[in-house]
Amino acid sequence: AYASGALHATIFTANCQIMQNGKPLLENGLPMIRPFCFLRKEVEIIDTWKEIGLVASAGHSFQVKNLSVEKNRVFHIDEKARVVESPIYQFPFIQLAAATIAANFSGMCIHFLELFQELIQTKKGRDGILLCERDSVKEMYQKAVADLENARINLFTKVETTWQYLVEKEELSEETEQIFPLAQSLAQTCRAIVNNIFPYCGLSIMRADTAISQVWRDFQTGSQHAMFCPA
């Protein structure tokens, strides 16, 4: 399990199997699983985050042992189980999570493009010409910026329109289902941009002490989120 920002978090959540007298309780023939929340002092963080990126957020594992908690520590990730009628609690979790994570990817991609633009002002190609002066590199960069902007607009516009519909109509729009594929499309666009530009960066991107290396490592790590696996 991964707990993003484990070293900074004050609340941890985890799916727990419900047991009774040492045996798992069943629900519709399957083990009963319920999500719980725990305070920082109640969990033991396990140093497992060895990934190349997102080092500062450190998604370490954690465990809880021999702990009794009140019933108010259990919750349900389901808009039908809400007890507060605010629109934010009616918005589907999957769509909300996908849009949030894809927005993070795109922010890292924007930062990567900014750093690449700085890099090519001084980096030369095999022929000794600055990369920033090569038409092919200019076109690649401009296309990357345009593709990223279009993918971001498509997702953000859909999130905004479906959110406003929910606020005004107090019900979900059928278009809410379109958020997830648009988030996937944005993630795929970001991956394509970063991976296409990577070969032009040279050893600067492989040095652990450069900004572009850190952003590249953070992006490559974050973009492996299971929600955006191609298969």
What integer is the mean pLDDT of 216-227?
A: 95
Mean pLDDT, all residues of the chain? 94
| pLDDT tens, position by position, 30-44 | 999 999 999 999 999
Q: How many CB atoms lie within 10 A of CB 155?
A: 26
Separation CA 155–CA 176 (nearest Å) = 11
What is the pLDDT, as a whole number, of residue 85? 85
Can you read off the two tokens belonging to residue 72? Answer: 């108010």
Number of Cβ atoms within 10 Å of the Cβ of 217: 18
- Mean of the pLDDT values across residues 114-118? 99
- Cα–Cα distance measured from residue 32 to residue 15, given in angstroms and rounded to the nearest whole number: 10
Task: Report the C-alpha gap between 113 and 215 in whole angstroms.
Answer: 10
CB 32 within 8 A of CB 25: yes
CA–CA separation, 123 vs 132, rounded Å? 8
Would the pLDDT of 105 be above 90? yes
Task: Kindly report the pTM of this predicted structure.
Answer: 0.89
Q: Which residues contact 112 (CB under 8 A, 6 or more apart)?
A: 193, 194, 197, 212, 215, 216, 219
The whole-number pLDDT of residue 193 equals 99
Amino acid 76: pLDDT: 84
Q: What percent of the chain has pLDDT above 70?
A: 99
| Domains of the chain (ranges, CATH numbers) | 11-75 (no CATH), 87-228 (1.20.140.10)
Can you tell me the mean pLDDT for 147-169? 98
What are the beta bridge partners of residue 38? 12
Q: In Å, what is the CA distance from 160 to each residue of 61, 106, 146, 165, 188?
A: 34, 17, 21, 9, 21
From the list 190, 184, 189, the residue with the least C-alpha distance to 158 is 184
* Cα–Cα dist 223/14, whole Å: 22
User: 42-98 pLDDT, tens per residue?
Assistant: 999 999 999 999 999 889 999 999 899 999 999 887 777 788 889 988 899 999 999
What is the pLDDT at residue 83?
Answer: 83
Predicted confidence at residue 1, as pLDDT, reads 64
